Structure 1
Amino acid sequence: MEPQTEGLQVKVTGGHQDKTLTCITTCTLTDKPTYIWSKNGHKVKEDPSSLYSDSFSDADNYSCAVKGHENLPAPAVCKKCWRVTYTHQSICTLKGSTVDISCSYTYPSYHDIKQAFWFTKWSGMDTEDLSSVPGYEGHIEYLGDKKSDCTLRITDLRLSDSAGYRFRFITSGDRFSGSPVSLTVTDVVLEMDPTSVSEGENVTLTCRTNCTLDPITAYSWYKNGQPIPNSNTYSPVYILFTVSSEDTGRYSCAVEGHEDLPSAEVTLTVRYGPKNTSVSVSPSGEIVEGSSVTLTCSSDSNPPVDKYTWYKNNAGHYQSISNQNTGPQHVFNHIKSSDTGEYYCEARNEIQTGRSESINMDVKLVLGQDGWSVTYTPQSICTLKGSTVDLSCSYTYPSGTVTTTFWFTELGTGKEPEDLGQDPEYAGRLEYHGDKKNGQRLKITDLRESDSAEYKFRLLTDHEGGKYIGSPGVTLSVTGTVTFKAKLLNSI
């Protein structure tokens, strides 16, 4: 309640119920004044005496004035007629939530409410209605009335909304402001200690607020936005025991009843050595000599693998084939049949080394394809009995070293060709010319008619299965004599 004039006051003395009211001034009035007493806004007594006695109830309101100056009354006095009552004097709530500041107020019954509002600051000599403060539009709602309810609702709370809130009302005869309600808006904050660990260590999660929420019955815990099963606790502390790589993720917490307002996420990083190390072969399927093949080592680790090492089984012992290559791939640009064998890889980071299972790689030769060829020049020859002939060919092969070359005309009893050089019929009449790289020439002397046949070239390499026949071969026809036919022309 706020004074309306200075110099005239009502002093209350007496017992619990019966009170004596005295209308006093700061100085003695020179004229003999007449005092006018009012009860609940109505005149009840006019008397030269400045005293007035009555049964003083909680709801009654008294004031006095000097006759002739009724427009300058003393401030009204009462027990409980001017009051603002808050359900909670201090409130702690979460950012983003909605809060109702419950409030009721009383005033002399003969007064009418002219204005009721909430404020947090004074503007000069007056208060500043929150509904007119920039930033509060659509953010606050007065749920009260102009009788007794003064409840204020604030939605989508911000940290900046933390302040002391006061209710103020103005009546037809006076004005009054309640004491402040302390509103503290807090985040839910997840603290993680530590945030980076190695497998097997423990991690402590703590759910904190800057003020005490009332009441808190339980806390909820989340990983990657999903509730952690069976994790609700009555304590703000949650411990991850003996963490593994599967515990890596983003963690948050919330208080019961406000699960829609969780804390910001905190990321847990778990360091671990290479796991699930494996080798893959590309392309998949049959591996053919001369093709390009890539072995790839894959592994899951944190921090990432910093070195890969490749091994091949050599006569029962694995030996490194990485040389200077520390990457996840081992490439055979032109694979050989000698590359057939068992391989595995090791993946290493700063914590430990992981090894893959061994894989078997089988490199195959495909005859007549992929680099095998024999070319005859020419492919058909006709010559005379007793003469000499040269059969020539050039050849290619995919890899390795040529170990054997020969010519033949027939398959032996084992279905394998037989070298003409071992045939008695050709003894002393055959010569092989050329090298074992890319070409050869067969010279046959003193030809016989029985030498007429299809001649084929055979080559073998040092790789398993490395053998090839150039087919079709060269057709040789040997004729016996030359017949001369003449036609006699008669002279005319």
Structure 2
Amino acid sequence: MICLMMSLRTALLRLSLVSLSVILGAFGTEWSVKYNQQEICALKGSTVFMNGTFTHPEGLTVTETFSIIDPVPGVEPTDLSKGPDYSGRVECLTDEQKRFSLKLSDVMKKDEHQFYFRIITNVEIERWVGTPGVQLRVTELRVEAPEEVTEGETADLTCKTTCSLTDPTFIWYKNGRPLTTKTIKNNQLHLQTVSSEDAGRYSCAVGGSQHLRSTAHSLRVRYPPKNVSVSISPSGEIVEGSTVTLTCSSDGNPPVKMYTWFKGSTSVGEGKTYSIPNIRSEDSGEYTCQSRNDHGQRRSTAVNLTVFYSPKNVSVSISSSRHTLVGFSVTLTCSSDGNPPVKIYTWFKEGGTSPVGSGHSYSPLQSGSYYCEARNQHGAQNATAVSVEVKGFPYAVIYAVAGVGCGVIVLGVISIFLIRNKRRVKKSEDLLVDTVYSEIWARSATTDAALNRSASQEDVYANVSASRPEENGKAESSPVKTSVCMAAVEVEVKEESQEDEVQYASVRFHHCSPPISLHRLWPAEGDGSKAPSLHRLWPAEGGGGEEPWTNQADLFTYMKVNQ
């Protein structure tokens, strides 16, 4: 019975609305309301406009328009903008061309109703409700896609709605960033060959409402391990005796849980980390880790583990297989193993405390036992001493070398002296032609029988001073005394040539004889036939003045007497 009454009520309401829509007004004009769309699909949270046009009988003035939902016959509809659920979200707009627009903001799922346009005029009975209204449907965007795909496969992601939007343009996002390099067709995103890089959170939106994105969908991609790497702790220099930990990192889906460690090609451990306590130099080398999951395996790039340590295996070798070398030097060579390599070697003789040498090799000068010390920044180690017996050590070699060195020095000094002397002799020879012997004190060095000797006779000259002849060529003497006789000089005259060039073969020193003053007078200029002569400048016995010596015999006689 209740159902029958409700059906009858609904039928009467529809009949009344239809009748009203076609009734002519009191002034002969027809009421009408036309909607542009009978049904609208709107995104949740968007703003929707329900537009249309209307007419009313002439002579009436429209005083109010608003939107209503779900009208009840016999009950005056309520303006939605005044209801608690729509306050501030609904607005009814009209213009002079009798166009209207019902604006609904921040659409919600509960807004799915039939919306009508209500007109109120200045005549109480002239009111109108436009039917059949606009059906509003509300939808949300939703990404439909597989949860997980395997690398290398294809995948399609679809942006789904519960109703059909009007001419939508779909926009796809991955991890919040728009996708521009992928294939988008209608509401579908196509991934041709899936890779691990395609894993992420995908969402979609519609152009014009980009802020109304769908809930993000996570796409997982299964793939074998990649980006496998090894890190060393502690970082920096690794010193022998410390503890070192190697850690393997990788990227894989599902996550890697199987790790195998290799030194070179030999397996040395399992697990994500590999520790080496009390590390030794033998642990140096290249290490890799291999990661494995359900889809494959991959090995990391090798890392070089370098262990630094103090010198070890220090030993001394001899340049000969015997320990005794006669006549030659012995060379000792120090060898060691260290990291960094040893560069500081110090040599010691057993029984002594002070070093006897340094360097990679050493040549001992004495017999004895010798050893070397090898040192780097991490420590030092001594070698076992070796005995060396040196017999007949070649001191002659040292002497020879020293002699040669001294000889070279002496020859150098002599060469310098000869060069300088030669220059002086040349300078003296240049002056010899113009030299005048101005004063001679002499004595004889021979017996009376030597008065008439030849050019090989020995004469003694006590003092010789020189002056140049006058440039006017006159046969005059200008004696200039330049020195004082301290000792006699014995000169052996080897030969006197026609050019008056005297060559002296030897010189010996004696006490001075009583002075005898001589002048050698040069001929006047242009008189080349005259030879220079010796003149006695002090008075002769029995008279004064200048008297020439005509021969050397007189001179030698005087020298003999006054010896």
State TM-score, norm by structure 2.
0.50
CA deviation after TM superposition for structure 1 residue 93, in Å: 2.2
CA deviation after TM superposition for structure 1 residue 288, in Å: 1.4
Q: Using the alignment, how far apart are the partners of 1:466 and 1:302 within structure 2?
A: 49
1:140 to 90, 104, 116: 90
Partner of 1:200, secondary structure, is coil
The reply on whether 1:201 has 2:153 as its aligned counterpart is yes
Q: Using the alignment, how far apart are the partners of 2:141 and 2:303 within structure 1?
A: 53
1:104 to 53, 63, 67: 53
Aligned to 1:94: 43
Partner of 2:197, secondary structure, is helix
CA deviation after TM superposition for structure 1 residue 413, in Å: 10
Contact 2:44 2:109 in 1 (8 A): yes
Q: Using the alignment, how far apart are the partners of 2:208 and 2:160 within structure 1?
A: 16
Q: Using the alignment, how far apart are the partners of 1:240 and 1:234 within structure 2?
A: 11
CA deviation after TM superposition for structure 1 residue 412, in Å: 8.9
CA deviation after TM superposition for structure 1 residue 228, in Å: 1.4
Larger strand proportion of the pair: 1
Q: Using the alignment, how far apart are the partners of 1:212 and 1:253 within structure 2?
A: 16
Partner of 1:178, secondary structure, is strand
Aligned to 1:181: 134
Q: Using the alignment, how far apart are the partners of 2:243 and 2:186 within structure 1?
A: 61
Contact 1:116 1:146 in 2 (8 A): no
Contact 2:65 2:92 in 1 (8 A): no
Larger helix proportion of the pair: 2
1:315-356, Cα deviation, whole Å (9 max, x unpaired): xxx22221xx412x2122321112122211111222221101
2:279 to 335, 338, 342: 335
Distance 1:140 1:307, change over 3 A: same
Tell me whether 240-249 or 278-287 shows the greater mean CA deviation.
Answer: 278-287
Contact 2:40 2:137 in 1 (8 A): yes
The reply on whether 1:83 has 2:32 as its aligned counterpart is yes
Contact 1:221 1:231 in 2 (8 A): no
The reply on whether 1:364 has 2:313 as its aligned counterpart is no
Tell me whether 258-267 or 146-155 shows the greater mean CA deviation.
Answer: 146-155
Partner of 2:235, secondary structure, is coil
The one-letter amino acid of 1:103's match is: G
Q: Alignment RMSD, CA only? A: 3.8
Partner of 2:310, secondary structure, is coil
CA deviation after TM superposition for structure 1 residue 248, in Å: 1.0
2:295 to 348, 351, 359: 351
Q: Using the alignment, how far apart are the partners of 1:246 and 1:275 within structure 2?
A: 12
CA deviation after TM superposition for structure 1 residue 415, in Å: 6.8
Over the matched positions of the two proteins, sequence identity in percent amounts to 40
Partner of 1:131, secondary structure, is helix
Distance 1:365 1:108, change over 3 A: same
CA deviation after TM superposition for structure 1 residue 196, in Å: 0.7
1:393-429, Cα deviation, whole Å (9 max, x unpaired): xxxxxxxxxxxxx975476999789xxxxx9989xxx
Tell me whether 105-114 or 303-312 shows the greater mean CA deviation.
Answer: 105-114
- Counterparts of 1:313-332 in structure 2, within 5 Å, are 313=264, 318-322=265-269, 325-327=270-272, 329-332=273-276
**Number of paired residues?**
319
Aligned to 1:478: none
The reply on whether 1:241 has 2:192 as its aligned counterpart is yes
Tell me whether 101-110 or 254-263 shows the greater mean CA deviation.
Answer: 254-263
1:357-396, Cα deviation, whole Å (9 max, x unpaired): 222222221359xxxxxxxxxxxxxxxxxxxxxxxxxxxx
Aligned to 1:310: 261
2:219 to 259, 268, 283: 268
The one-letter amino acid of 1:342's match is: E
The reply on whether 1:219 has 2:170 as its aligned counterpart is yes
Partner of 1:229, secondary structure, is coil
Q: Using the alignment, how far apart are the partners of 2:170 and 2:106 within structure 1?
A: 22
Higher RCO (CA 8 Å, separation ≥ 6 residues): 1
Contact 2:230 2:300 in 1 (8 A): yes
CA deviation after TM superposition for structure 1 residue 181, in Å: 0.8
Contact 1:281 1:293 in 2 (8 A): yes
1:190 to 143, 165, 174: 143
Distance 1:331 1:264, change over 3 A: same
Q: Using the alignment, how far apart are the partners of 1:364 and 1:230 within structure 2?
A: 52
Bigger radius of gyration = 2
Distance 1:232 1:363, change over 3 A: closer
